[in-house]
C-alpha cells in the first residue's frame, strides 16, 4: 500500500492499493475512489465490538474497500480543519486516541474501545471514560483538530495539559487529572477546574484547536433561533 497526505488545513489522504489490498473506515468515511475498488460493509467483529466502537465515536458498521485488479485509488478527506496523522504500527503496538480520531486503516489494524481506569480521568478528562485503542500491525490514519505538537516524555516527566488538547498517547504514558490550585485560579483563570497530568515515559500528541473550542468560538456568529 502506498499513500500521500496532501493539503494544509483540510487535508486528504490518497491511498494506492494493489490487487487484493484493502483498507477500512466507518460508514460514510470514503470520499472518492477508482472503479476497480469494491466495498463490503459489516460490523467487523460482531455486534458487541460494533457497539463498543459506537461508544468510542465511530459507527456500528465499518466498510472495507478492496482493490479487485491492477492498481486502485481511494481517498479520505478530513471532516474539519486539522491534520491527518499516519502511523505505522508494528505487531501488537498500540496507540490510545481521543473519541472519533480514527479515520481509516489497513485491514490488519484492530480498532477497539478503551476505558480509562481512573475515576478522575474519566469524569473530568475532557473525553469521558471512553477513548479509542488502535493496535497493529499496519498503517492507520488519524484525523485531529488544528495543528499537532508531539512531545516525548522521559521517565517521570510530567506535562500539564488542558484535557481537550490531548489527541493521542502511548499506553506507557500515565493519564491522570489534578485540580487547579487556588480559588481565583479555579474560577477566574479561564482554564476550568481541572488539568490533565501526562506522566512519561512515552509519546503524546496534542491538538491546538479541540472541536468543542472551535464550536464555542463559532456560536456567537451563528444566526439566533426565532
Question: pTM of the entire structure?
Answer: 0.83
Q: 64-78, 87-101, 165-179 — which is least confidently predicted?
A: 165-179
Whether the predicted pLDDT of 121 surpasses 50: no
Mean pLDDT, range 55-61, rounded to an integer: 64
**Cβ atoms within 10 Å, residue 140:** 25
Whether the predicted pLDDT of 193 surpasses 70: no
User: What are the Cα distances from residue 21, in Å, to 67, 129, 138, 210?
Assistant: 6, 35, 12, 34
Domains in the chain, please, with CATH?
A: 2-219 (3.60.160.10)
- Say what the pLDDT of residue 176 is: 86
Rg (alpha carbons) of the chain, rounded to whole number:
19
Percentages (nearest 5) of helix, strand, coil residues in the chain:
15, 45, 35
Whether the predicted pLDDT of 127 surpasses 50: no
Sign of CA dihedral 18, 21, 26, 28: positive
- Say what the pLDDT of residue 140 is: 98
- Say what the pLDDT of residue 184 is: 42
- Say what the pLDDT of residue 217 is: 73
- At 131-182, the pLDDT tens digits run 899 999 999 999 999 999 999 999 999 999 988 899 999 999 998 887 665 4
Q: Find out whether 57 and 128 touch, Cβ atoms under 8 Å.
A: no
Whether the predicted pLDDT of 191 surpasses 90: no
- Say what the pLDDT of residue 55 is: 59
Amino acid at each position: 500500500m502506498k499513500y500521500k497526505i496532501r493539503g494544509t488545513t483540510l487535508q486528504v489522504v490518497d491511498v494506492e492499493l494493489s490487487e487484493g489490498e484493502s483498507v477500512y473506515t466507518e460508514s460514510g468515511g470514503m470520499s472518492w475512489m477508482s472503479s476497480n475498488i469494491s466495498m463490503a460493509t459489516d460490523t467487523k467483529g460482531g455486534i458487541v465490538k460494533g457497539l463498543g466502537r459506537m461508544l468510542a465515536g465511530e459507527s456500528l458498521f465499518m466498510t472495507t474497500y478492496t482493490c479487485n485488479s491492477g492498481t486502485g485509488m481511494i481517498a479520505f478527506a478530513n471532516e474539519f480543519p486539522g491534520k491527518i496523522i499516519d502511523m505505522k504500527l508494528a505487531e501488537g503496538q498500540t496507540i490510545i486516541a481521543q473519541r472519533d480520531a480514527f479515520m481509516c486503516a489497513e485491514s490488519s489494524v484492530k480498532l477497539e474501545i478503551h476505558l480509562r481506569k481512573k475515576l478522575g480521568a474519566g469524569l473530568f478528562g475532557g473525553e469521558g471514560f471512553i477513548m479509542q485503542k488502535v493496535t497493529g500491525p499496519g498503517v492507520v490514519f488519524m484525523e485531529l483538530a488544528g495543528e499537532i505538537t508531539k512531545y516525548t516524555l522521559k521517565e517521570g516527566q510530567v506535562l500539564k495539559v488542558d484535557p481537550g488538547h490531548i489527541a493521542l498517547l502511548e499506553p506507557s504514558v500515565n493519564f491522570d487529572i489534578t485540580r487547579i490550585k487556588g480559588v481565583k485560579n479555579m474560577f477566574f483563570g479561564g482554564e476550568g477546574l481541572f488539568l490533565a497530568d501526562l506522566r512519561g515515559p512515552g509519546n503524546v500528541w496534542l491538538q491546538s484547536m479541540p472541536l468543542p473550542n472551535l464550536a464555542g468560538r463559532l456560536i456567537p456568529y451563528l444566526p439566533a433561533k426565532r
